[in-house]
Homo-oligomer: A and B are copies of this chain.
Amino acid sequence: MIFSSDNWAGAHPAIAENLMAHAGGYAPAYGMSELDQKVQRRLSEIFEKEVAVFFVGTGTAANSLALSSANRAGGIAFCHREAHVNVDECGAPEFFSHGARLRPVDGARGKMAPATLEAEIRRFPPEDVHGGQPMAVTLTQATESGTVYALEEIDAIASIAKSHKLPLHMDGARFANALVHLDATPAEMTWKRGVELLSFGGTKNGCWCAEALILFDLSKAQEMHFLRKRAAQLFSKSRFVAAQFDAYLAGDLWLNLARHANAMAQRLADGISASASSRLAWAPDANEVFVVLKHDVAARLRQHGAVFYDWHVPHDLAGSLAEDEGLYRLVTSFATLADGVDRFIDAC
C-alpha cells in the first residue's frame, strides 16, 4: 500500500538485469559507446524522426537544460502554476537559465488554459524592456494533477507558442503514462504537435536513473553538448543509463509498465468511487489519483500501513471540501500490486 510516489519503487527486473549484463568489458566513455548509440537510434525510431538525445541524471536536469537552451536575457518561461519546474525544483530552471523567470499560468486540473496563456504572454510586449521577454512555453504531460492533455489541447498550446515564436517544451517525467492513456504515438504527442524539446523520463516508470533530454530541432544539439557538460550532467560511464533505456525501450516494455501503472490507478479510482466514505477529487487519466478523504479515514489507512501524501487544495476546489475532509494524492507505478490496491479500498 505504498502510494507515496512512483519514485519509491526500485527498478524493473528486466532493466536491473540488463544493467548487470553490461557491467563487464570496456566501452568508450561520455556517451560514445555502441550501446549509447544504439539507444539513440532506438529513440529516433520510436519518434519516427532523427532526434538528438542527451542522457542526464534527473528530470530536473532535463527540464532545466531545455529551458536554458531557450534562454534570453530577462527571459520568461510560461508554465502551469502547479508544474514541477515551478514548485518542486528549488529554482534549478532559474539557476540553469541565469535568473530567467517562470511565469505561472492557471488552468483547471493541472493544464494551462490557452486563453490565460495567451493573456500572460501578451503582458510582455517585445518593446517593453522593463518587464522582460518571453522565451519558452513548457507543459507537463502527464500533468502534476494526474491528467493528460488531449492532442487538441496540446495543439492549442503549441499554436500560441508558435504565434509568439516561442519554443515549446514538454516535461515528460510521466511521458509513457500519458502516451498509453491517449493511445497515440510518441511522434503524434510531440513534434507533430509542435513540441521542440522533450524531457523523456524513464525513472518513474521502472528505471533506476534514466532521463533524457530529446531535441527535435537538431540545430540546437551542438550547443546542448556544452550546456549539459557545463551543468555536470555528462556521465563518464554513460552506458549505465544506456543499458537501462535499452531494456526499457525493448519491445513494448515501457508502454506495458505504464499501462499497468495506469490500470492500477483506475482500479484505485473505481474503488474509491464506489466507496461510501470517500470520493475522487477528479478522475485520473494517468497514474496519480487525487482523492477526498475524511481526516479520520486517512489516519486509519495510514495505521493500516498505507503511505501517501496530503495534498494542497487547488483554488478551484477550495469550496468543495468539508471541514473534516482533506485532499490526498495516491500514486501507482509499475510495481503496484492489485492486491495492495484492493486492501487499500477495503480499508477505506
A contact residues vs B (CB 8 Å cutoff): 2, 4-5, 7-13, 15-17, 19-20, 22-30, 56-61, 64, 68, 72-76, 87-92, 94-101, 126, 129-133, 203-204, 208-209, 222-223, 225-227, 229-237, 239-240, 307, 335
The CB with the most chain B CB atoms within 10 A, among A13, A74, A131, is that of A74
Give the residues in chain B near A87, CB-CB below 8 Å.
130-131
Q: Count identical subunits in the complex.
A: 4
How far apart sit A240 and B10, CA to CA, in the bound complex (Å)? 8
Give the residues in chain B near A129, CB-CB below 8 Å.
30, 90, 225-226, 229, 234
The CB with the most chain B CB atoms within 10 A, among A12, A75, A307, is that of A75
Give the residues in chain B near A225, CB-CB below 8 Å.
129
Residue from the list B12, B64, B229, B235 in contact with A92, Cβ < 8 A: B229
In the complex, which residue of chain B has the Cβ closest to the Cβ of A61?
A: B232
Q: Are A16's CB and B9's CB within 8 A?
A: no
Q: Are B90's CB and A130's CB within 8 A?
A: yes
In the complex, which residue of chain B has the Cβ closest to the Cβ of A93?
A: B99
Known A-B contacts A89-B232, A91-B230, A130-B89; A237 and B208 likewise in contact (beta carbons under 8 Å):
yes
